[in-house]
Amino acid sequence: MTKKTQQREYFFDSIRAYLMLLGVPFHVSLIYSTQSWSVNSPAPSEWLTILNDFIHAFRMQVFFVISGYFSYMLFLRYSRQHWLKVRLERVGIPMLAAIPLLTLPQFFMIKAWTTKIGDWSTLSRYEKFNALTWDLISHLWFLLVLVALTIAGTWMFKWLRDGKAAKTEYSDLTWTKLSFAILLCSLAWGAIRRLLFIFEPQLLGNGLFNYGVMQSLFFLPFFVLGAMAWKYPKIKELFVKPIPWTFIGSALAFVAYVANQTYSKGEGWLYEIDAVVSMMMGLWMVNVVFSLGHRMLNSHSPRVTYLVNASLFIYLVHHPLTILYGIFFVPEISNNTLGFFTGLLFVFGIAFILYEIHLRIPVLRFLFSGKPQR
């Protein structure tokens, strides 16, 4: 057990909270984008499509770096068994609670009031199971990925702590080397997907496999990178020191991301190119977000503490609220920009009210946090 202590880094709390809360403008803008979703506006908006693409291109990569950072920090604090128990409770309980309380009612809303699922009576048993899987996991996919990465972390973190890699301090690590390593990871992920597309294409349409395996493999390098940032100060220094070319690289990668989304049609190489571009942009945006956060957000704030505590609950409840807004209000608002900002007010307003209500009900506090209530 390690007794390593470190001054609290408030900018990590701020970034984590804001990345979670970005899920609301992401899904509200998704209604007005060119992407096909559960609900869509009559006509898409170009600027909201770009906003949606921008949020999607980097947000979760940065989030999983922070998650790996704090997960490894706790791994050093507890025994392996206690660490695994605590992490699975914090992640698994909110995920399991949200399925019957949020995503199951959401499934019936989508089934009854949208055309996304189609004619349920004509679907085969497997098609019904798969459709149910996609919608029950839904926006909870990142919690499922965290469960998978936590279980894998019991071995990965032990190796990181005790293995041969601990003998180096990565003093010669540069952004060029780090970028090349992530590029190799993205090419490996793309190769796995292409092989599956050739030999087992049905797996790529399976919701449980897509979320539990493919998404876990995609975000694994970022999770490990976050853990290494705690272990090796040199890596963390790279993240928090602003590097001009990572800002430029992020902008160029986003241009490539939008171009791929716009011009890659059908199966083609859309997903493989997307993996390369979004992994590279995600890595470079770690520097953009961390360096700006370190400079602007590294101080204690009761407001940020409140948002940190509320962010997971807000993220969990916002998705069905967004779909409700899309079903009943979007058709009544002809202006997309007005509809977007009205949607933010609707979803955030109700979500924060529900958060305050749930704070006063101990069983709900436990179910949506995974923490024992005192």
Per-residue pLDDT of 166-181, as tens digits, reads: 556 788 899 999 999 9
pLDDT-based confidence at residue 29 (cuts at 50, 70, 90) = very high
% pLDDT > 90, the chain: 89
pLDDT of residue 371: 86
Residue type, 104: L
Is the pLDDT assigned to residue 266 strictly greater than 80? Answer: no
CA dihedral 149, 154, 155, 157 (to 10 degrees): 90
- Dihedrals phi, psi of 109, to nearest 5 degrees: -65, -50
pTM assigned to the model: 0.95
d(CA 139, CA 314): 12
pLDDT, the chain, mean: 94
DSSP string, 17-60: HHHHHTHHHHHHHHHTSSS--SS--SS--HHHHHHHHHHHHHHH
Other beta carbons less than 10 A from residue 193's beta carbon? 20
